[in-house]
Amino acid sequence: MLAAAIAVAGVLFERHRDARLGLERIEARQGMLTERRPVRAAPRERLEEEAKSAEAVLRQLALPWGAIIETVEDAATDDVAILQLQPDAQAGQLRLGAEARTQDAMIEYVHKLVAAKALADVHIVSHQVQTDDPQRPIQFTLQASLRGAP
């Protein structure tokens, strides 16, 4: 019985060795088929451009977004609708497009933003009465400096 067990163990050992060799051959063939070409280095100009782009994104992300949004929301009234919010991280400025029902509502909104701690140098860049609308709302654009901007 011991001799039979040794013979079976020998056969199993040979099968295992053959299977392992077969697997190594298959892996070697696969390696030849999927031979990778050397990666070419990107041009220096392209890398610098991508680095500048990444820096711009990081500056935008570093803006005090919470303070900006809170300031705009705190100044909000039912008579003013925010149409556009454009922070410029590089210049440290905020450009805000809005529409007010009346001139008084526009002025009140500007005064609230002037009093806000997150903004400085708030001023109206442009305004226009919408004569084609029967309610004649005023569309206006504000610009302000961001306090605490990177």
- The band of 45, judged by pLDDT with boundaries at 50, 70 and 90, is confident
What is residue 34's predicted lDDT score, i.e. its pLDDT? 67
What is residue 79's predicted lDDT score, i.e. its pLDDT? 93
Give the residue extent of every domain in the chain.
Answer: 1-36, 59-146
What is residue 111's predicted lDDT score, i.e. its pLDDT? 93
The predicted model scores a pTM of: 0.60
- The band of 28, judged by pLDDT with boundaries at 50, 70 and 90, is confident
pLDDT higher than 80, residue 140: yes
- With 0-12 / 13-18 / 19 or more C-beta atoms within 10 angstroms meaning exposed / middle / buried, residue 133 is exposed
- % of the chain surpassing 90 pLDDT: 34
Distance CA(95)–CA(109), nearest Å, equals 14
Render pLDDT for 61-115 as a digit per residue (tens, 0 to 9). 767 777 888 888 888 889 999 999 888 888 888 899 999 999 999 999 999 999 9
- The band of 48, judged by pLDDT with boundaries at 50, 70 and 90, is confident
CATH annotation of 59-146: 3.30.1360.100
